[in-house]
Structure 1
């Protein structure tokens, strides 16, 4: 399936008319995208519920501001994720650029975070990256997952790079598998820690840093200039396919 063989419907939740009008006009010019625009949490929730009830399919993307007239966009992220909204990709677009807000949004279930001001080119690149990740998700019937020169075998828990086996400990494989399954998505330190080491692992972020370092030494051509494992400073990590341009 090519990127525009399915309807790519976006819900924008933004109370600033200048930004809303800019994004509405920009997305109207992009083939394959259809944007709906709401200015409050209440109206956004009603639009989402109507979409689920009457059309039976989710918005592909939700572009969400955090500072809204009737509350915090963080609450909408949690509510969507708790009520069957896991199929929509949530991208926060906010003037709040501090680490705490980014981490909180990602922990609540956001897939990405763009700090205002941003260009339409950057937004579209992020959308394409998430669509690529979704389009290459492997069938659960296939044990092999391929990204760039790497091949992961879910049956044997082994990794090969250009056909050459790479030794992996169980935890290293579990971490790499988590990142591959969320290709293009920023995962916070806490989400990684809970997924790999369990919800009772406490504040052990150094585990994540240590194992990311180990993975880079094993899968990167140059660990000092990683092409697969990208650091989002103060937030977490993202795995990308270096063979696919943004």
Structure 2
């Protein structure tokens, strides 16, 4: 599987604000079904980063039991499972929850699996290897297209006069649009999801670049300086250095 993934995969404490929620404000629920435990855990971490509640199963019978108890809002389902194939799991899931969106995981060269999955009633598919970001984006789209009244969007982060739209990737300060590179955007998003919280260089490396990133901490200093030039230039600063501790973003005084 590719290692392109959302930052902050280790942060399951709820600091990431969900952009899809149920009508009662509780997180959306996603069931991950895959017999590859490492892949299932990576998927679960990526979804929890979005603020979603996740449960996993390693085989078809476990998936059916989990779905009955968990009542997911969406399901990620591998076609190849040890006890029954994903198509049979889908049939059983739909017998109890006919409208739940299902995203199939298929082998890269298995056109037959993809066709069979969609014909059987699957809503979408991704082929292995895939990026975790793609899976999250596909799930968002499936849940929104399903037209579930339980879903609502909350994709804008706001700190002081600084706003960041996680869907459109638009950033504004005081109404002025700010253009960021992809890495600058991820860094700012992480800072804005943790306002007034001091974040160490190690935390930022882990969550913005890659959880197993082996680079040097000076890349953090470099990108913080890039952000300051775009966010703070000519304005009261929002990004502050806490000597010996890290960086913090907070509303300008």
The alignment's TM-score, normalised by the length of structure 2, stands at 0.47
Larger radius of gyration: 2
| Structure possessing the higher relative contact order (Cα contacts under 8 Å, 6 or more residues apart) | 2
